[in-house]
Amino acid sequence: MRAYYFDNIPGDQRLPHGDPSKSIPLEQLQKLGVNHWYIPVEGHEGPIDAVAKERGYKNRDMITVSREGLGELYEDKMKTFFHEHMHEDEEIRYVLSGSGFFDIRETPSEAWIRVAVAPGDLLVVPAGIYHRFTLDEADDIKVMRLFQDEPKWVPHNRGVDTDANPHRAEYLRAISLSA
């Protein structure tokens, strides 16, 4: 995992869009409630089970995001994933193969932090934080999704209603206490 500021220059969202050599430390992401572990893919089952038990993740599934895998749905899915949104549950992703980018909205600066993920990265994005996802130029990622309850993925696109969402308010309260 490497994190750096997104440059906001228009163009292909799958490009790095920033200077990956000017990395943001994990501690800065943790202040935003974002957690990361590196767990090698080979032999990952035990360590993933331990993290799942510790954090109360009861369910999991696998998803492959690629042009080939999504077929005609690819363009629509990529637009949906890249639209700024939040969830009312944590978003937990463990990368098994491929790579991509999670963009995290930094509060209070409103800057985007681009988080490049690759095999072995386990990323936890807290409920209530604005974020988005895109593939990189390789156009392929396979991830294990972990869930605290039944598997679901419900994006709440950023807007007036979402800004007033109780999960968003709780997130803002939580990061203000950790600052």
Residue percentage of the chain with pLDDT more than 70: 99
How many Å is the Cα radius of gyration of the chain? 16
128/86 Cα distance (integer angstroms): 5
The predicted pLDDT at position 148 comes to 87
Alpha helices in the chain (DSSP H): 26-31, 45-55, 67-70, 74-82, 160-163, 166-178
Mean per-residue pLDDT, 128-136 = 97
Phi, psi of 175 (to 5 degrees): -75, -25
Residue 179 has pLDDT above 60, yes or no: no
- Taking alpha carbons only, the member of 153, 37, 35 closest to residue 89 is 153
- pLDDT tens figures, 89-109: 999 999 999 999 999 999 999
d(CA 80, CA 96): 22
Q: Could you say which DSSP state residue 72 is in? A: G
Decide which of 168 and 177 is more confident: 168
**Mean pLDDT within 108-114:** 96
**pLDDT average, residue stretch 129-139:** 97
Q: Which domains does the chain have, with CATH numbers?
A: 2-178 (2.60.120.10)
